[in-house]
A and B are shown apart, each in its own frame.
Chain A
């Protein structure tokens, strides 16, 4: 491959990596956290939302096309980026340099967490055929089990915080690399807004963990009709 083609591919891949972090991966993260936080108002609203999702037409295609493939692409390119840089926050101790370092570390943490998260939820759900209305009782049962022990609570708390940090900090990075935030003041102000946004997401996530831990409730499958 000649250098010019390589350059074009390189540019497009990195630009797409940046975009997929926002759409669809980031958008999915917000949706996922919002729906899961319904658990904090009660198990019934939570169950209906799971029912709706698990009865969506072409669910498998949506999950593969809009969630799995974009996340895999984002992670793969992410690891390339991870190994292309050499963090130096101890030598050059500035806030943004720490953010740069944490952005890379949190990406790796989220990736490891996702493997665990998928292996304990979606994979067995599909494998054991707990689809449509059977999905909610199965998934709620899994989560009740997860949050019985401190191991599960800590794993989820770390995964949630790594994901919300990576997303809100990545949103800021996206806005700069795509040239939306240019001025120094604009970058600072938007930074505060994204930090607040990340904090809200974190609270939503941790509140869900807390609710599951405090009130584990099993449910029966919804009877349609």
Chain B
């Protein structure tokens, strides 16, 4: 491989619903380059390999340390964060595509508001006060604290949804990230006050029953969140809730 240059092939789209097209770019090689640095290089001099001057490539990024999740895209066909995708460990030309399960805003930038809408549907928060002060919450054991910490690392990057064969642009499947947040907040001693409402939100079209157990989510999760355990646990919680709804209520 020629170490002097880096070849990139980028899928472009000028606006939502516009035709997509590929463009190739070549930039000078530097040590320890990541994909974001390459995109910044292209931004400084947006000229394709064939010398054509084009609009700079648009992408999302923020933290640059794999904590915010905003630079998620398909790199060489697989979903991951561009900030931690190092050129030295990638095959060239490096193929960059926007995520395919979210509407494209422009180029590599996608609209992931569906994830936020789902978090709202399942009330992924701890209710602290209502019309009155509800006081101090119960104590949480350290074991639960540790378990919740792992789940709380979710940055809503959408990798699990992009790789999921059940999640598509057109259906309303909630996906692993949402179910894991239901588990996170149901595990919280005060958060569990909304447990039934959360379970109710995932017991319908696009809910927990639509999971097909392909378990790709847990393989691609950059934060190694035990997503399949979360899905199984929500499976248990909803099963018990169903029995309660039928035989107790």
Interface residue ranges, A against B (CB under 8 Å): 3-4, 6-8, 10-11, 14-15, 18, 81, 84-88, 91-92, 94, 96-97, 99-101, 103-104, 172-173, 176-184, 187
A189 vs chain B, min Cβ distance (A):
14
Q: A176-B231, A177-B235 are in contact. Are A11 and B203 (CB under 8 A)?
A: yes
User: In the complex, what distance in Å separates the CA atom of A223 from the CA atom of B236?
Assistant: 53
Known contacts A11-B209, A184-B226; A86/B78 CB under 8 A: no
Contact A91 B219 (CB under 8 A): no
Q: What residues of chain A lie closer than 8 Å to B6, measured between beta carbons?
A: none
A182 interface neighbour in B171, B219, B232, B240, Cβ under 8 Å: B232
User: Contact: A6 with B205, CB < 8 Å?
Assistant: yes
| Inter-subunit contact A184/B163 (CB<8 Å) | no
| B233 cross-chain contacts in A, Cβ below 8 A | 179, 182
Report if A97-B204 is in contact (Cβ < 8 Å); known contacts: A176-B231, A179-B235, A182-B232. no
Q: Mark B195-227, 1 if CB is under 8 A from A, else 0.
A: 000000001110111111111100110000010
Known contacts A6-B205, A8-B204, A184-B226, A176 near B216 by CB under 8 Å: no
Contact B165 A11 (CB under 8 A): no
- Of A4, A91, A99, A184, which contacts B228 at CB under 8 A? A184
Q: Which A residues are in CB contact (< 8 Å) with B232?
A: 176-177, 179, 181-182, 187
A residues within 8 A CB of B228? 176, 184, 187
* Known contacts A94-B216, A179-B232; A84/B209 CB under 8 A: no
Which residue of chain B has its CB nearest to the CB of A7?
Answer: B204
Chain B contacts for A182, CB-based, 8 A: 229, 232-233, 236
